Amino acid sequence: MNSRLIAAKVLNKVFQNGQSLTAALDDVLSNNSAETIESKDKAFIQALCYGVCRQSYRLELILNELLDKPLKDLEVKALVLVGLYQLEFMRVKPHAAVSETVQAARKKPWAKALLNAVLRNYLRKQDELTQKANSVQVAATSHPDWLIKRVEQDWPQHAPDIFMENNLQAPLVLRVNQAKVSRADYLTQLEEQGIIAAAVNFCPSAIVIEKPVQVESLPGFSSGLVSVQDTAAQLAAGLLDVQPGQRVLDVCAAPGGKAAHILEFQPGLKELVAVDIDASRMQRVRQNLDRLSLSAGLLVGDASQPANWWDGQQFERILIDAPCSAIGVIRRHPDIKILRRDEDFQPLIALQKKILQAIWPLLAPGGALLYATCSILKQENECQIAAFIESHPDAVNLPINADWGLSVSYGRQIITGESSMDGFYYALLGKC
């Protein structure tokens, strides 16, 4: 099957069905018919899908300028966007991009004619259309209007850089399992295989790979020497500062990267209990721990209702990796810009508050709770913690002294792209 048609089918699952890009790609590329797709074609399909999602708002404006009326066939519309993306952003020769995209609609003669006309018209009017797109903020940034407003309200000085970073491909970052190998030794192993990488000076486990590679090709990946995890997410284990003999709780734990890092960081724990509401996602936690030869107590349960799963013994350390808007990881999941809605925020903020209040009694006096989100929006972050501390006299804001992120009223905020990191927030609370 034509690679561009496959990409259009994936994108249609996102645009029309509201499916995540990750799931849609997995559905299409993992089924039986995908066995005939070569790896280079799969990479091209992924590049098209991620690229169209990143630039969807810009491409939509351009398409609307080229059409007399909206396209009712949404798969054909996705195919047009695939063609426009190639012409605007990829190093595909224009004649090849047009002919191959037109050929992808071979079962719909009317669509072939439309595709040919639209794409060739774009090439004739490219300068004019680029100027038009650059003059409209939604298209210039390729972000929805509601998200532009929220980011500019919270981070007016950083907003242009945030929009730019959100439209870039995130780097491949590894977490070295320092219980098995030192970072210096692993960097040597990478160098021996011709993989260029650099250590992150403020995170002792993090390595940034210069050019993305297949994780299976990384030395020792299958035996658990390294895992894929953004630098910002790797900071959690150090902030928790877990000590030997302590009991640790990780709620909203899937897919298990932070739980695994805590176990690598401190092998002398009494116990780590990981909880997640989704049984299928908890299977991912088990698989990740098995690859790393690590063990933890895994519970499927609702973090907002611990009475259904808690054994009554308090924990010295708790990590709440709170459900959030995920605005800080748009680089990795550009479909967030398409699927997330402004009205999603209040329910998320209410859920975060509910989880914080429900989990707080599980923390032992003298213990520490780390609240984390992959968001850059203040309502989910410092405002959430400010309200919690105000209503809980036994909660103390513990300072996070670090040379990364911004010091905010409560905790530290990482702005998307800082030191190549995802957007992330941390607040550390002590219990009197």
- Domain of 10, CATH number, reads 1.10.940.10
- pLDDT, residue 1, reads 72
pTM of the model: 0.96
Q: Are residues 243 and 211 in the same domain?
A: no
Q: Would 47 be classed as within a structural domain?
A: yes
Phi, psi of 147 (to 5 degrees): -75, -40
Name the residues annotated as catalytic.
Answer: 374
Q: Say if residue 238 is exposed, middle or buried (CB neighbours under 10 Å; 0-12, 13-18, 19+).
A: middle
Q: Would 413 be classed as within a structural domain?
A: yes
Q: Are residues 13 and 94 in the same domain?
A: yes
Q: Are residues 250 and 370 in the same domain?
A: yes
- pLDDT, residue 30, reads 79
Closest CA to 8 of 86, 107, 94, 77: 77
Where a domain ends, among 213, 228, 243?
228
Q: Are residues 223 and 244 in the same domain?
A: no
Q: Are residues 129 and 238 in the same domain?
A: no
Write out the chain's pLDDT in tens, 432 residues.
789 999 999 999 999 999 999 999 999 887 645 556 887 899 999 999 999 999 999 999 999 999 999 999 999 999 999 999 999 999 899 999 999 999 999 889 999 999 999 999 999 999 999 999 999 999 999 999 999 999 999 999 999 999 999 999 999 999 999 999 999 999 999 999 999 999 999 999 999 999 999 999 999 999 999 999 999 999 999 999 999 999 999 999 999 999 999 999 999 999 999 999 999 999 999 999 999 999 999 999 999 999 999 999 999 999 999 999 999 999 999 999 999 999 999 999 999 999 999 999 999 999 999 999 999 999 999 999 999 999 999 999 999 999 999 999 999 999 999 999 999 999 999 999
Kindly report the CATH number assigned to the domain that includes residue 271: 3.40.50.150
Q: How many distinct structural domains can be found in the chain? A: 3
- Strand 172-176 and strand 395-398: the pairing is unpaired
- pLDDT, residue 29, reads 86
Phi, psi of 77 (to 5 degrees): -60, -45
- pLDDT, residue 35, reads 55
Q: Is 240 helix (H, G, I), strand (E, B) or coil?
A: helix
Q: Are residues 207 and 319 in the same domain?
A: no
Q: Are residues 380 and 399 in the same domain?
A: yes
Q: Would 255 be classed as within a structural domain?
A: yes
Q: Give dist(CA 143, CA 77) in Å, integer.
A: 19
Q: Give dist(CA 163, CA 142) in Å, integer.
A: 8
Where a domain ends, among 194, 210, 228?
228
Q: Would 147 be classed as within a structural domain?
A: no
Kindly report the CATH number assigned to the domain that includes residue 224: 3.30.70.1170
Are the C-beta atoms of 319 and 234 separated by less than 8 Å? no
Q: Would 167 be classed as within a structural domain?
A: no
Q: Are residues 236 and 219 in the same domain?
A: no
Which residues contact residue 212 at a Cβ distance below 8 angstroms, ignoring those fewer than 6 apart? 169, 171, 172
Where a domain ends, among 195, 211, 228?
228
32, two tokens: 């039986």
Q: Would 267 be classed as within a structural domain?
A: yes
Question: CA 88, 91, 96, 100 torsion: positive or negative?
Answer: negative
Q: Are residues 219 and 238 in the same domain?
A: no
Q: Are residues 122 and 187 in the same domain?
A: no
Q: Would 161 be classed as within a structural domain?
A: no
Domain containing residue 10:
3-136
- pLDDT, residue 106, reads 86
Q: Are residues 186 and 302 in the same domain?
A: no
- pLDDT, residue 38, reads 80
- Strand 363-373 and strand 424-431: the pairing is antiparallel
- pLDDT, residue 218, reads 97
Q: Are residues 257 and 180 in the same domain?
A: no
Q: Would 162 be classed as within a structural domain?
A: no
